[in-house]
């Protein structure tokens, strides 16, 4: 099922004109989300990606290049291409730099939406390094006690290698939920969790159709989420000279031809530059063992970041990847428009 789904997404992207590198990267990032159960940033993004590639907002065959480099630091220009292509290329460069300097940092200019930030952070962990990935996005989130759109969902993702285990992986929006989850809840007919969304006046709502802005992470302590969103803003926009969240063309804009020119930032850290690898491996393993064995409240279990997602990966390998109704309808349209075989669908819900 997963392989068929990936092949379908890749075929659709190629059919709308994306070059091989773009189709590969976008499919890889979407499948990362769908395999891990992050459906808001999984294959449901195919409809949006195909639309903006076809209309011209995102370059179908971008010229991606390093435009600045100094020691352990580089800047990559994405050529207004797909954010996933930029994200993977930037992390590859950061990993390469870290092999020489112990740390590699790459800023990204002129990219589009890159999907799940964890898809890029985890690439560093696969190479035995610690990874960090972030970007800013158009204003969808109010400030703490605010009643107007200000930050984007501005994700932060970290990953670290764990000997003999899957990577430790934390991938989080700095809003209470990402806006794509609002769209998913609309499709599934579900209510928003409490303290995650606000209406046009800034009042809390659980109605996804009435949701006009997201709350910052932290509920009554939302100033923490708003502050973390600022971290993403500084690294992604200020450091790269790109537009602030308040200045970006909205992802949902009807203008599908104007590039959005997002900024991003990738970093890779080589543990060997700090400590002998056996010491790092032992300490990381002990940390996670201690964390997972920590006493839990009644009816709950304690998990490390990534545990839930990796378990969902394994479950979906057997049960298949669920598809929400809106995405199922989009897939049917794509199959008809491009002469592709319809996919067997496992309904979400």
- Check if the beta carbon of residue 285 is closer than 8 Å to that of residue 192: no
User: pLDDT tens digit string along 195-250?
Assistant: 999 999 999 999 999 999 999 999 999 999 999 999 999 999 999 999 999 999 99
Query: Which residue carries 């201690």 as its tokens?
Result: 290
Q: To the nearest whole percent, how much of the chain has pLDDT over 90?
A: 94
Rounded mean pLDDT of the chain?
Answer: 96
Q: What is the CATH number of domain 62-273?
A: 3.30.1370.60
- Residue 346 in this model has a pLDDT that exceeds 80: no
Predicted pLDDT at 288: 98
For residue 190, report the phi and psi dihedrals to the nearest 5 degrees: -105, 155
Q: How does residue 263 score in pLDDT terms, banded at 50, 70 and 90?
A: very high
Q: How far apart are CA 252 and CA 267, in angstroms?
A: 29
Q: How does residue 157 score in pLDDT terms, banded at 50, 70 and 90?
A: very high
- Check if the beta carbon of residue 67 is closer than 8 Å to that of residue 119: no
Q: How does residue 343 score in pLDDT terms, banded at 50, 70 and 90?
A: confident
Q: How far apart are CA 272 and CA 258, in angstroms?
A: 44
Predicted pLDDT at 349: 58
CA angle 48, 83, 197 (to 5 degrees): 60
Q: To the nearest whole percent, how much of the chain has pLDDT over 70?
A: 99
- Residue 344 in this model has a pLDDT that exceeds 90: no
Predicted pLDDT at 179: 86
- Residue 38 in this model has a pLDDT that exceeds 70: yes
- Residue 280 in this model has a pLDDT that exceeds 90: yes
What distance, in Å, lies between the first and last C-alpha atoms of the chain? 18
What residue segments make up the domains of the chain, in order of their start? Answer: 62-273
- Identify the burial level of 53 via C-beta atoms within 10 angstroms of its C-beta, where 0-12 means exposed, 13-18 middle and 19 or more buried: buried
| Beta-bridge mates of residue 156 | 134, 172
User: pLDDT tens digit string along 88-123?
Assistant: 999 999 999 999 999 999 999 999 999 999 999 999
Predicted pLDDT at 347: 72
Q: How far apart are CA 64 and CA 108, in angstroms?
A: 10
- Helix %, strand %, coil % for the chain, to 5? 45, 20, 40
DSSP 8-state symbol, 273: G
Predicted pLDDT at 184: 85
User: pLDDT tens digit string along 12-30?
Assistant: 999 999 999 999 999 999 9
């Amino acid at each position: 099922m997963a392989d068929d789904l990936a092949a379908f997404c890749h075929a659709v992207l190629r059919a709308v004109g994306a070059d091989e590198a773009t189709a590969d990267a976008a499919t890889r990032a979407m499948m990362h989300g769908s395999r891990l159960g992050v459906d808001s940033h999984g294959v449901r993004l195919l409809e949006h990606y195909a639309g903006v590639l076809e209309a011209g907002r995102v370059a179908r065959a971008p010229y991606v290049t390093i435009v600045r480099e100094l020691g352990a630091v580089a800047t990559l220009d994405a050529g207004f291409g797909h954010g996933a292509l930029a994200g993977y290329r930037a992390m590859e460069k950061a990993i390469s730099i870290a092999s020489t300097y112990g740390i590699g940092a790459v800023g990204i200019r002129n990219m589009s939406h890159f999907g799940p930030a964890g898809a890029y952070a985890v690439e560093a962990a696969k190479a035995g390094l610690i990874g960090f990935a972030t970007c800013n996005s158009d204003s969808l989130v109010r400030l703490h006690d605010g009643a107007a759109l200000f930050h984007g969902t501005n994700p932060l993702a970290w990953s670290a290698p764990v000997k003999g285990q899957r990577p430790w992986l934390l991938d989080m929006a700095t809003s209470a939920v990402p806006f794509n989850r609002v769209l998913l809840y609309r499709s599934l007919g579900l209510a928003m969790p409490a303290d995650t969304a606000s209406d046009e006046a800034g009042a809390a709502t659980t109605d996804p159709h009435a949701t006009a802005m997201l709350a910052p992470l932290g509920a009554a302590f939302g100033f923490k989420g708003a502050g973390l969103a600022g971290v993403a803003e500084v690294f992604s926009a200020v450091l790269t000279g790109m537009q602030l969240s308040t200045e970006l063309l909205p992802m949902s804009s009807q203008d599908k031809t104007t590039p959005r020119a997002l900024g991003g930032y990738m970093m890779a850290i080589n543990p060997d530059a700090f400590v002998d690898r056996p010491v790092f491996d032992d300490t990381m393993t002990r940390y996670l063992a201690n964390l997972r064995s920590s006493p839990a409240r009644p009816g709950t279990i304690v998990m490390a970041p990534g545990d839930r997602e990796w378990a969902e990966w394994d479950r979906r390998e057997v049960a298949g990847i669920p598809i929400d109704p809106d995405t199922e309808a989009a897939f049917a349209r794509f199959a008809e428009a491009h002469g592709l075989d319809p996919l067997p669908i496992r309904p979400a819900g």
